[in-house]
Amino acid sequence: EAQVTQNPRYLITVTGKKLTVTCSQNMNHEYMSWYRQDPGLGLRQIYYSMNVEVTDKGDVPEGYKVSRKEKRNFPLILESPSPNQTSLYFCASIPVEGTEAFFGQGTRLTVV
Amino acid sequence: AQRVTQPEKLLSVFKGAPVELKCNYSYSGSPELFWYVQYSRQRLQLLLRHISRESIKGFTADLNKGETSFHLKKPFAQEEDSAMYYCALSRAGAQKLVFGQGTRLTINP
């Protein structure tokens, strides 16, 4: 089944403890992207990647890192999480420019 | 700057009534617009896009460049339409989607 898989689905952590949220797609898509979803703000793009080793900042990149060493994986790294990064995170993959984005199930992160 | 505005955070209508979810955008170029839907406990998924000009689940949306709007409409709402709806604009391909704040639609029986 074609899909985007994120792990973990839920995570509670403490301020400053490094964490990684994984994202994997099995559709051989070139483009991948990370969003955070906050009430009243909709989805905001954190980082995106156009191919292996090619990444760029989205609208709210501060406090996040990404890497794209393989086409199928696009992990989101929080080196030193803070409470304002408590949010619902979505990974998406896109086959070609201008077409449909396929989303993962979401990761609910709480930083205390 | 590119921006998508959905003025209604919440919208509640009765089953069988018409539904219109508003979306306005600001973009200097030629936009590509989408509606995404998120049903309870499910992932975000594409509902429709203006390029295809199709009707999905009875929903349609017309791009009005003069009014810079892309409102989503359905003539007769069904209970299963209850969900969160996001309007999105593509700035340079779908890898750079800009989303509105979302509208939570509730269909009352």
Per-residue confidence band for A17, with pLDDT thresholds at 50, 70 and 90: very high
Query: What's the per-residue H, E or C state across B18-63?
Result: CEEECCEEECCCCCEEEEEEECCCCCCEEEEECCCCCCECCEEECC
Q: What is the pLDDT along chain B (109 residues), one digit of tens a residue?
A: 788 999 999 999 999 999 999 999 998 777 889 999 999 988 999 999 887 777 889 999 988 888 999 999 999 999 999 999 999 998 765 567 889 999 999 999 9
pLDDT, residue A20, reads 98
Contacts with B, A 1-20, CB within 8 Å: 4
Residue-wise pLDDT for A73-103, tens only, equals: 999 999 999 999 999 999 999 887 657 889 9
pLDDT, residue B9, reads 94
Q: Does A34 lie at the interface with B, CB-CB under 8 angstroms?
A: no
pLDDT, residue B93, reads 58
pLDDT, residue B10, reads 96
User: Measured between beta carbons, which residues in chain A are less than 8 angstroms from residue B102?
Assistant: 42-43
pLDDT, residue B2, reads 81
Q: How far apart are CA B55 and CA B33, in angstroms?
A: 15
Q: Using alpha carbons only, what angle is made at residue A98 by residues A96 and A99, rounded to the nearest 5 degrees?
A: 65
User: Measured between beta carbons, which residues in chain B are less than 8 angstroms from residue A36?
Assistant: none
Q: Does the beta-carbon distance from A35 to B100 stay under 8 Å?
A: no
Q: Does the beta-carbon distance from A43 to B94 stay under 8 Å?
A: no
Tell me which chain B residue has its CA closest to the CA of residue A105: B43
Give the residue ranges of DSSP H helices in A1-112: none
Q: Which of A32-36, A52-56, B53-57 has the lowest mean pLDDT?
A: B53-57
Q: Are strands B10-14 and B103-108 parallel, antiparallel or unpaired?
A: parallel
pLDDT, residue A98, reads 55
User: Measured between beta carbons, which residues in chain A are less than 8 angstroms from residue B23?
Assistant: none
Residue B82: CB atoms within 10 Å: 17
Q: How far apart are CA A2 and CA A81, in angstroms?
A: 31
User: Measured between beta carbons, which residues in chain A are less than 8 angstroms from residue B94?
Assistant: 31, 94, 97-101
Spatial neighbors of A24 by CB under 8 A, at least 6 apart, are A4, A5, A72, A73, A74
Residue A40 has pLDDT above 90, yes or no: no
